């Protein structure tokens, strides 16, 4: 397994990040534990979750599953770089939603962190991430609350998710005024089909020294060979293929044909492409099964040469940062 630094930190993380969103809703506890064991055995040390995962009435369930896995011992917690998130509203006493149970007020940051630590069965979080920006809370309030958590030893670093480029810049400027490290990583939607972050988010992250952790690297399965699978199996893939526009179908057909030429599975190529992008630290892979984890690991062995990367840019045109993106 290849490792890299997470942004401008001394933290070494694997080039793939294990996403746990499916643990609970789609993958039961025993299978979730098996997937995490397999990931750790393969050298994946970077795990991502969120307090709201589990969804609906089961918010927090995913963190609980990770906590029960840590409780098995064997160095599981010590070997894992753990990232979780806050922002989404969590139920209060009695199960109903109460004020100050979501977003980024100082009160909710304190409350959400303590609740996540309890569910996760650990006394610290390596990377505590803001799931979204909170336009109503001043950055000095956010950073003061995060500084307290660092001083208490409850978190080591802070990160963001789904931030715009100017959100990153504003957050970092406020942190710098306070003499605080600020953000060390940004999670963004980024894949061959979704490349708008190349305009502002990636340049801002690189300028400020943030690691980039792409989520949905297969765009919900569209880059995983959806046309081929629709022909083979029907079901979910057939439903997705049916909803494609003619332009999307042509684009994905060209992509799948090119993957055949390369001799690799489409999902493997999509992940490998992200690993070739200089801003990217580790794409998030969210396997529902052990087999899907094995498929994701294959991307680490794929090298795309300049011609292959150029062909992928032809099929899925990307962006350059301003002003080049707008040049005639």
Q: For residue range 185-223, list pLDDT tens digits in order.
A: 999 999 999 999 999 999 999 999 999 999 999 999 999
| Full set of structural domains in the chain with CATH | 3-221+274-309 (3.20.20.100)
Q: Which pLDDT belongs to residue 233?
A: 61
Model confidence pLDDT, tens digit, residues 131-155 = 999 999 999 999 999 999 999 999 9
User: How much of the chain exceeds pLDDT 70, in percent?
Assistant: 98
The confidence score (pLDDT) of residue 9 equals 96
pLDDT value for 192: 98
Task: Report yes or no: 23 and 68 within 8 Å, Cβ to Cβ.
Answer: no
Beta bridge partners of residue 73, listed in sequence order: none
pLDDT of residue 254: 98
Q: Residues with catalytic annotation?
A: 53
Q: Are 300 and 204 in contact (CB under 8 A)?
A: no
Helix/strand/coil (H/E/C) assignment for every residue in 187-203: EEECECCECHHHCCHHH
**Chain-centre distance of CA 67, in angstroms?**
19
Indicate the pLDDT class of residue 123, thresholds 50, 70 and 90: very high
Within 10 A of 261 (CB to CB), how many other CB atoms are there? Answer: 10
Q: What is the pTM of this model?
A: 0.95
Give the model confidence (pLDDT) of 236-290 as tens digits: 666 777 778 888 999 999 999 999 999 999 999 999 999 999 999 999 999 999 9
CB contact at 8 A, 87 and 130: yes
Query: For residue 280, what is the DSSP state?
Result: B
* Token pair in block for residue 303: 């090298």
What pLDDT was estimated at residue 172?
Answer: 98
Q: Are 286 and 20 in contact (CB under 8 A)?
A: yes
Separation in Å, CA 228 to CA 126, 217, 222, 286, 299? 40, 18, 11, 21, 19
């Amino acid at each position: 397994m290849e490792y890299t630094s997470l942004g401008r930190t001394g933290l070494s993380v694997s080039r793939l990040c294990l996403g746990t969103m499916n643990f609970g809703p789609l993958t039961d506890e025993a299978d979730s534990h098996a997937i995490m064991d397999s990931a750790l055995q393969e050298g994946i040390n970077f795990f991502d979750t969120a307090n709201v995962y589990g969804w609906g009435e089961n918010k927090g369930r995913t963190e609980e599953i990770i906590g029960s896995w840590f409780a098995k011992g064997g160095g599981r917690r010590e070997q894992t770089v753990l990232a979780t998130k806050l922002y989404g509203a969590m139920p209060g006493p009695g199960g109903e939603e109460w004020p100050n149970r979501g977003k980024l007020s100082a009160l909710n940051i304190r409350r959400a962190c303590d609740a996540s630590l309890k569910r996760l069965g650990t006394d610290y979080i390596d990377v505590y991430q803001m799931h979204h920006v909170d336009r109503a809370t001043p950055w000095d309030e956010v950073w003061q609350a995060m500084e307290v958590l660092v001083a208490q030893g409850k978190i080591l670093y802070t990160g963001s998710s789904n931030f715009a480029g100017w959100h990153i810049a504003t957050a970092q400027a406020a942190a710098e005024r306070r003499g605080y490290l600020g953000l060390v990583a940004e999670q963004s939607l980024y894949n061959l089909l979704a490349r708008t972050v190349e305009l502002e988010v990636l340049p801002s992250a690189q300028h400020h020294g943030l690691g980039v952790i792409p989520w949905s690297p297969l765009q919900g399965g569209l880059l995983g060979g959806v046309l081929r699978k629709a022909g083979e199996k029907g079901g979910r893939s057939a439903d997705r293929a049916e909803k494609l526009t003619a332009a999307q179908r042509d684009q994905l057909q060209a992509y799948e044909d090119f993957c055949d030429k390369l001799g690799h599975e489409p999902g493997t190529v999509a992940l490998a492409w992200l690993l070739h992008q200089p801003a990217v630290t580790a794409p998030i892979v969210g396997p529902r099964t052990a087999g899907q984890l094995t498929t994701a690991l294959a991307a680490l062995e794929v090298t795309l040469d300049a011609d292959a990367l150029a062909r992928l840019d032809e099929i899925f045109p990307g962006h350059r940062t301003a002003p080049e993106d707008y040049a005639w």
